[in-house]
Amino acid sequence: MARSVFLGEFEQVTLLAVARLREGAYGVAIRQEIEDRSDRPVAIGSVYQALDRMERKGFIRSNVGEPTPERGGRAKRFYGLTPSGRQALLAARNTLDRFWEGLDLDPEVFV
Amino acid sequence: MTPFGHRLERTAVPPRLARWILSVTLPGRYRDNQLGDLVEEFRALVETRGVSGARRWFWRQTLASTKSNLILSLRDRPRSTKEGTARMGTVWQDIRYGVRGVRKNPGSAAICAFTLALAIGVNTAIFSLVSIVAFADLPMQDPDRLAFVWMTDMSTAQSRTSVSHQDLVDLQENSSFESLAGLTLGTAILSVDGDPDRVETGRVTDNFWETWRVPLVLGRGFLPGEDRPGADPVVILAHGFWQERYAGNPDVLGESLRVNGRGHTVVGVVSPKMEFGNLGRTSIWLTTGEPQAGGDRGARQFLVSGRLQPGVTVQQANEEMAAIGARLSQQYPETNAGFGVHVQDTRSSLMSEELPTIFLLMILSVGFVLLIACANVANMLFARSTSRMREFAVRSALGAGKRRIVRQLLTESLLVSVAAGLMGLCFAHGVLSLMVFITRGREALFTMATLDREVLIFTLIVTMAAPVVFGLLPALRASRADVSSSLKEGGARSGGGRRGSRIRGTLVVSQISLALMLMILAGVAARTVMTIGELDPGFDGTNVLSMVVELPEGDYADDESVRKFFGELLTTASAIPDAEGIGLVNSRPGLSAEQRFEIEGRAVVDSRDQPRAARTVVSPDYMDVMRIPLFQGRGFSSQDTEETLRVALVNQAATDKFWPGEDPIGQRIRLGSDPEPWLQVVGVAGGTEFSSTGRSLEHVPQIYVPVAQHPRRSMTLMVRTRTEPTLAVTASRAAVWSVDPDQPVDDVRTMEQYAYDVRSNDFALLTLFGAFALFALAMAAMGIYGVMSYMVSERRAEISLRMALGAERWDVLGMILRRGGILLAFGTGIGVVGALLLSRLLASLVVGVSERDPITFVGVPFFLVLVALVANYVPAFRATKVDPMQAMRTE
């Protein structure tokens, strides 16, 4: 799976958010999870753009839930990690870990 | 719940516009999910941040998401070639259906296309005129760094006056311009192989060519110092003149050309780019050299333009030049008091001051024509979509979506519009050729108009936009057709619902108001055109032939020879067969510059208070020939010669202004500030001044002096004939040549022709404007008739039923007319108010009538109301006559 090794940062974050939220991974929850953990404003459109791309790559799959009244009768779309998505996340993490190995970015290094 | 709970509840919805943006940009797959997400979060935020905070958040999210959503939408498009073909397939299907629909009903499609074609045609034609000015390819290099310097005459509120040579020299001392050049147009006598010929000339300062940076195709521009008196005379040829006279021969450089009796060396040929606008007629370019280098600061004849220093803006230049102008008017109060200086950019400077207004009016008017045409077509489509309800109902029953139906109808509209655009282009070409023909090629604007790239782009945009205007409403309504009821009722009449009639009512109101605005404005313009024709210019120009005789300075150096020539000319010309009278005048009636003069015994402190009048030099019979009335005293006679008492006539305006309540006869005046002998006023005559718009300038003071006491080299010969004046042309020329065979005769025109030419500029455009309005009137009348009679005919069943139940015919008619009347009242009200607001634009253009001309403001609405009432009455009256059973059955 060579091509899946390099996930963009936002893609990784999105995948991780989906993974963390488990059954509750839909637009609002994913957006808030990313916003809370990355501590910066996130537009819902970019979340959907990333989700769409991940789904095309087969890392996640989605299904549409029942419409609810607090959403003006509109349905939620729930997302879940696929096995290859899980694989891609792990691979990405391993890659990064290998880069971090033995690297120390303590301020003294740059004195 | 808070005390504001109810209110909170009501306003706690996400912003509508933002939701609309989202639903348009989002791909169908995520539309519900994402909108739902945003709404859900929005509602949660209302609790914590309040409504406005939540709305702000919603807007931020919307705007930040739009780009991503658009990318998603695009990605959502053809995912595989198979899907792509399917999509293209539906487009083809739409077009095929469209063509089929058009073929099924070719008549109505043709009428729609033709209506639109006319509107697109006039729009294209007008745009091509506007684009000449807006996108004109100016001859000078980098025209944006060039600016024009004008004088402002505060006493006559003329904002753009030329500059005198003396002032130009002083203005050249500035830090805003790299160089400041002068240009003045005139004529000169050119002798080639002994044949005298008058040509149009441009006289320029030596730095002109380097200022404008117009390329020369041959040779050089003028050298510094070549415009000084005494320098070797040189000439630069216009490209057209070079081609015509010298067949483009490059050996022309160094040849000698006799101009005004003096040899001039040809030093260059200028690029054909220089032949634009007024300069197109110029044959040769001379230096300002000989005649007008004189010192009269009041002789303002130069068009001054300069190249701005790097980094200097027109605004900055304006400030500096205005300051210099103020200084000059203090320094030379004699000539410059009341004169300011200002700087204007090149493009505005090259336009007549009224042109932008005229263009704005034209664009407005053709825009209105287009809107009216769209409204007409929309109405026709409405009528058709009503009768096609059943077709759409079947389609949507078979699963066609709303969008699909709208798209298909818009495709049909676009097909019609494209056909109309093509026809419109041909039509525009026809309009332009017709205008060239009507103005006999004299209007540079029309001859320069071409359907070039900018114009084609414009037409394309109009063609693509029009279907949205006229096709969207009917299409949307058709797509909303209620399937079951349409199918059940048989569909034919289901379009007459409340909603349909409301839309149609809006159409009628907007059509009436648009048409009224345009028609009233154009009516005022048309009244101007009519009044111009009827204006009394102060003289009778019928059956008068005129021609200019300008004696060359070289051959007629002294006054005596000039006097002798014109004396002999009067004698020979009186022998012209068919001539009833012969007169001479220094220049034909029209707008002449006012000159200062002095009245004996009246001291003038401020030069601004010095009396001014237009001076006209005439032969004794001129007043008779032109039928200019004499009110008091005596006219000139052959007894008034250079040896006798110097005399003058004044007009009524001069009397009223300078001798109110006094008898001007016997008073003495002196023209100019020169120590000339005093002139004695011997009579009061009519005035002959009129402006370029044909405005009679009765208020302009005028002084007539006899030619015998004021000999001038340039005079115009007036021949009043008993029959057709053009028949006397040959005999008149012969009369001149019998006195001097080498003397050219120029500018031979009947006075009627002349009167037309003087005002041709705005006149042609105003006429065009009036013609468009008439055209729009016909279009609007047809449209209004169509919509209103259709509205009534939809109620046929109702009407005949009422009749069957015993209603009186007049009650029924009254009911119908009331409804029409309400729409009419609305439309007329809006139209008249709009016209009143827009009429301000006309103020500077209309002549002889008020821009709020009551006849037009009442007459035009009256006509449209009449059309509309007939449109209501006729079908209603017919409906009352129909047998109710039959009417019900056809339902």
Residue range B150-169: mean pLDDT, rounded:
76
Inform me whether the C-beta atom of residue A61 falls under 8 Å from chain B C-beta atoms: no
The highest-confidence range among A58-62, B81-85, B355-359, B865-869, by mean pLDDT, is: A58-62
* Statement: residue B267 has pLDDT above 60: yes
* Statement: residue B81 has pLDDT above 80: no
Q: How far is the alpha carbon of B324 from chain A, nearest alpha carbon, in Å?
A: 60
pLDDT at B457: 85
The rounded percent of chain B whose pLDDT value lies above 70 is 82
Residue range B720-727: mean pLDDT, rounded:
86
* Statement: residue B499 has pLDDT above 70: no
pLDDT at B129: 79
Residue range B687-701: mean pLDDT, rounded:
63
pLDDT at B845: 66
Q: Place B481 in a pLDDT band, splitting at 50, 70 and 90.
A: low
* Statement: residue B630 has pLDDT above 50: yes
pLDDT tens for B332-366 read 877 777 788 888 888 777 766 666 777 777 787 78
- CA dihedral (B754, B756, B757, B762) positive or negative: positive
Q: Name the 3-class secondary structure at B154.
A: coil
Residue range B154-177: mean pLDDT, rounded:
79
Cβ neighbour number for residue B727 with a 10 Å cutoff: 12
Residue range B841-870: mean pLDDT, rounded:
78
pLDDT at B491: 42
Q: Place B619 in a pLDDT band, splitting at 50, 70 and 90.
A: very high
Q: What DSSP letter does each residue of B543-568 carry, written as one string?
A: TEEEEEEE--TTT--SHHHHHHHHHH
Residue range B774-795: mean pLDDT, rounded:
75
Nearest residue of A to residue B38, measured between CA atoms? A28
Q: Comparing B26-30, B719-723, B798-802, which segment has the lowest mean pLDDT? A: B798-802
Residue of B613 and B82 predicted with greater confidence:
B613
Contacts of B358 (CB under 8 A, 6+ apart): B762, B765, B766, B769, B845
Inform me whether the C-beta atom of residue B36 falls under 8 Å from chain A C-beta atoms: yes
* Statement: residue A19 has pLDDT above 90: yes
Among A30, A34, A48, the residue to mutate for chain B (most B Cβ within 10 A) = A48
pLDDT tens for B37-59 read 998 899 888 888 888 889 999 99
Inform me whether the C-beta atom of residue A96 falls under 8 Å from chain B C-beta atoms: no
* Statement: residue B889 has pLDDT above 70: no
Cβ separation A45–B64 shorter than 8 A:
yes
CA distances from A63 to A75, A83, B177, B312, B380 (A): 10, 16, 73, 66, 47
Inform me whether the C-beta atom of residue B23 falls under 8 Å from chain A C-beta atoms: no
* Statement: residue B292 has pLDDT above 60: no
pLDDT at B158: 59
Inform me whether the C-beta atom of residue B65 falls under 8 Å from chain A C-beta atoms: yes
Q: How far is the alpha carbon of A74 from chain B, nearest alpha carbon, in Å?
A: 5
Contacts of A17 in chain B (CB under 8 A): none
Pick from A41, A46, A77: CB nearest B33: A77
Residue range B467-495: mean pLDDT, rounded:
64
The highest-confidence range among B243-247, B488-492, B774-778, by mean pLDDT, is: B243-247
Residue pairs spanning A and B at CB distance below 8 A: 77
Q: Place B10 in a pLDDT band, splitting at 50, 70 and 90.
A: very low
Contact B772/B373 with Cβ under 8 angstroms?
Answer: no
CA gap B443, B463 in Å, rounded: 29
CA gap B538, B438 in Å, rounded: 27
Q: Given the structure tokens 């006598």, which residue do they identify?
A: B189
Cβ separation A74–B33 shorter than 8 A:
yes
pLDDT tens for B370-408 read 888 888 888 777 777 766 777 777 777 777 777 777 777
Q: Place B534 in a pLDDT band, splitting at 50, 70 and 90.
A: low
pLDDT at B307: 92
Nearest residue of A to residue B35, measured between CA atoms? A74
Residue of A110 and A65 predicted with greater confidence:
A65
Contact B664/B681 with Cβ under 8 angstroms?
Answer: yes
Q: Place B206 in a pLDDT band, splitting at 50, 70 and 90.
A: confident
Q: How far is the alpha carbon of A28 from chain B, nearest alpha carbon, in Å?
A: 5
Pick from A31, A43, A71: CB nearest B68: A43
Q: Place B493 in a pLDDT band, splitting at 50, 70 and 90.
A: very low
Q: Place B756 in a pLDDT band, splitting at 50, 70 and 90.
A: low
Cβ separation A43–B61 shorter than 8 A:
yes
- Six-digit token pair at B573? 């010309």
pLDDT at B61: 92
Residue range B874-883: mean pLDDT, rounded:
76
* Statement: residue A13 has pLDDT above 90: yes
Cβ separation A45–B39 shorter than 8 A:
no
Query: Across chain B, what does the average pLDDT equal?
Result: 79
Q: Comparing B125-139, B185-199, B483-497, which segment has the lowest mean pLDDT? A: B483-497
pLDDT tens for B412-461 read 888 888 888 899 898 888 888 877 776 655 555 666 677 777 788 888 88
Nearest residue of B to residue A78, measured between CA atoms? B33
Q: Helix, strand, coil proportions of chain A in percent (round to 5)?
A: 65, 15, 20
Residue range B722-744: mean pLDDT, rounded:
85
CA gap B760, B750 in Å, rounded: 15
pLDDT at B7: 37
Q: Place B696 in a pLDDT band, splitting at 50, 70 and 90.
A: low
